[in-house]
Amino acid sequence: MQNVSKPPALVLPPHGAVAMRIKGSTTSTGERLSQTKSMVIPDLDTPQKQFHVDLQGEYLNKAKISEGGKKLRKNWTSAWVVLCSGELHFYKESKQEALANLKPGCKPDGVNLCGAVIEWTSEKSSRKNVFQITTRSGDEFLLQSDDYATISKWHDAIKRAVDRSSSGDARSGGGKATIVRSNSTECLSRQASDSTKIKAKESKPENRRSIMFKLNYSASDSADKNGVKNRLKKFISRRPSMKTLQEKGLIKDCVFGCHLLTLCQREGTTVPRFVQLCVKEVEKRGLEADGIYRVSGNLSTIQKLRFLVDQEEELNLDDSQWEDIHVITGALKMFFRELPEPLFPFRFFDAFVEAIKIKEQKQKIQALKKLVHQLPKPNHNTMKLLFHHLLRVLTKSRQNLMSSQGISIVFGPTLMWPELDTGNMAVNMVYQNQIVEFMLIECQEIFGPEGK
């Protein structure tokens, strides 16, 4: 009876050892054993080490601030984050729900941690507990959680994954070969096909061209920015001064917002013409108007009047478009409010406040009278014209329902305010109103007769 020999048992070698394949074949006659040894070196680019899942998943706040080196607008969103095999995956909901709803062929957003840089940051966001991940491709992500223990756990886990992936990548690039067990012809054919793929990849210059294009584009883009900055600097340095433009007549000074002394010098008067026109028109047809100076006019019409005055066009306040007297009074109040320095100059503010605190009536009048005569002439004459006008408004209080207190509330903060508002605004407003009301009542004593 012929003995049939069984093929020997196959024993797998430990990792890194030479794998030996023993092939046993049986035939009817001339049984023959053949032994072949094969040693195959796999593709060095194939990763030999798989990283295990470090963290199963948790909701964190995520923001992508850069893509390929290009800055993006920071937009915080809540994402289900999973750390798996050296990659960070982002889902809108938990992984199980996301995979169930994921369309075929689609992949979740992921970050390859190989060669990435991770660091805590407080400059990229005002939120607390934020760290930044910067990938090799230039993408930048921010991760954040209000719970420090949670975000610290993720920071440490991602840091370990980055270190492992970097060390694994260095070992695979160092040329260390790993011996695997396989059929010789199969491995050779696979190596041939892999080398063909590598050559095919190397033969495609599109990737190199695209990279060079990006580099050239970024370099030219920065050069263009520098060129724009240089041209702007030259333009600003060569730009003529405001005084030169005014002397050439290219820019005309406006009436609104112009310093009172400058405006009077330009017009050759001590009271601005616009103030004189408004006062004359109000006394002509508005002294008995209900709520004169208290009621606001149409703002768009007031702005239209202001534009015409600033353009120094011929102004006729009798025109039908200025029929509403409250438009004229509104424009007059706007003129005083927009003065760079109020009608009561800044350096006189504290002195007027101290004068109004004097309890004795005659001393108070004399103190205010002395201050008024110390004012610059345009301020003094304009103030005198305005207060005599307001006194005439007050004489018609039965018709226009405007009391001295009502007028002072309107004109107190309009005619005077401190240069530096370091004190209490409410207290300053009380003094402003008291000063205007007292000077209005004692107008004849303080300013003297109107004609003089």
Query: Reduced to 3 states, what is the DSSP secondary structure of residue 163?
Result: helix
- Show which of 134, 165, 196 is a domain's final residue: 165
The predicted pLDDT at position 314 comes to 79
Instruction: Residue 273: give its domain's CATH number.
Output: 1.10.555.10
Angle separating helix axes 325-337 and 273-285, nearest 10 degrees: 150
Euclidean distance between CA atoms 376 and 368, whole angstroms? 15
Are residues 435 and 313 located together in one domain of the fold?
A: yes
Are residues 306 and 433 located together in one domain of the fold?
A: yes
pLDDT single digits (tens) 225-283: 677 888 787 777 777 766 676 666 656 678 999 999 999 999 999 999 999 999 999 99
Are residues 321 and 424 located together in one domain of the fold?
A: yes
Is 288 within the bounds of a domain?
yes
Is 41 within the bounds of a domain?
no
Produce one character per residue of 170-203: b if its CB has 16 or more CB atoms within 10 Å, e if not. eebeeeeeebebbeeeebeeeeeeeeeeeeeeee
The predicted pLDDT at position 302 comes to 95
Are residues 315 and 434 located together in one domain of the fold?
A: yes
Among 286, 258, 289, 290, CA closest to 274: 258
Euclidean distance between CA atoms 415 and 385, whole angstroms? 13
Neighbours of 409 (CB within 10 A): 18
pLDDT single digits (tens) 133-159: 999 888 898 999 988 888 888 888 888
Instruction: Residue 83: give its domain's CATH number.
Output: 2.30.29.30
Euclidean distance between CA atoms 292 and 395, whole angstroms? 13
The predicted pLDDT at position 438 comes to 96
| Cβ proximity of 336 and 342 under 8 Å | yes
DSSP-assigned beta bridge partners for residue 130: 144
Is 207 within the bounds of a domain?
no
The predicted pLDDT at position 391 comes to 95
Produce one character per residue of 388-404: b if its CB has 16 or more CB atoms within 10 Å, e if not. bbbbebbebeeebebeb
Domain count, the chain: 2
Pairing of strands 130-134, 140-144: antiparallel
Residue with tokens 């709520």: 291
Are residues 420 and 293 located together in one domain of the fold?
A: yes
Is 249 within the bounds of a domain?
no
Are residues 265 and 412 located together in one domain of the fold?
A: yes
**Terminus-to-terminus CA distance in the chain, angstroms?**
153
- DSSP H or E run through 79: strand 77-84
Structural domain including 130 reads: 53-165
pTM of the model: 0.48
DSSP for 267-285, please give it. HTSSS-HHHHHHHHHHHHH
| Cβ proximity of 412 and 348 under 8 Å | no
- Show which of 165, 189, 222 is a domain's final residue: 165
Are residues 276 and 143 located together in one domain of the fold?
A: no
The predicted pLDDT at position 92 comes to 76
Query: Reduced to 3 states, what is the DSSP secondary structure of residue 69?
Result: coil
Is 227 within the bounds of a domain?
no
Is 223 within the bounds of a domain?
no
Query: Reduced to 3 states, what is the DSSP secondary structure of residue 21?
Result: strand
Is 25 within the bounds of a domain?
no
- Show which of 165, 191, 223 is a domain's final residue: 165
Query: Reduced to 3 states, what is the DSSP secondary structure of residue 359?
Result: coil
Structure tokens at 190: 């696979």
Q: Following CA atoms 407, 408, 414, 415 in sequence, which dihedral angle do they give, to the nearest 10 degrees?
A: 120
- For 199, 252, 293, the CA distances from 190, given in Å and listed in that order, are 14, 84, 95
| Cβ proximity of 86 and 112 under 8 Å | yes
Is 347 within the bounds of a domain?
yes
- DSSP H or E run through 307: helix 299-310
User: Within the chain, which residues score under 50 in pLDDT?
Assistant: 1-53, 174-193, 197-204
The predicted pLDDT at position 106 comes to 54
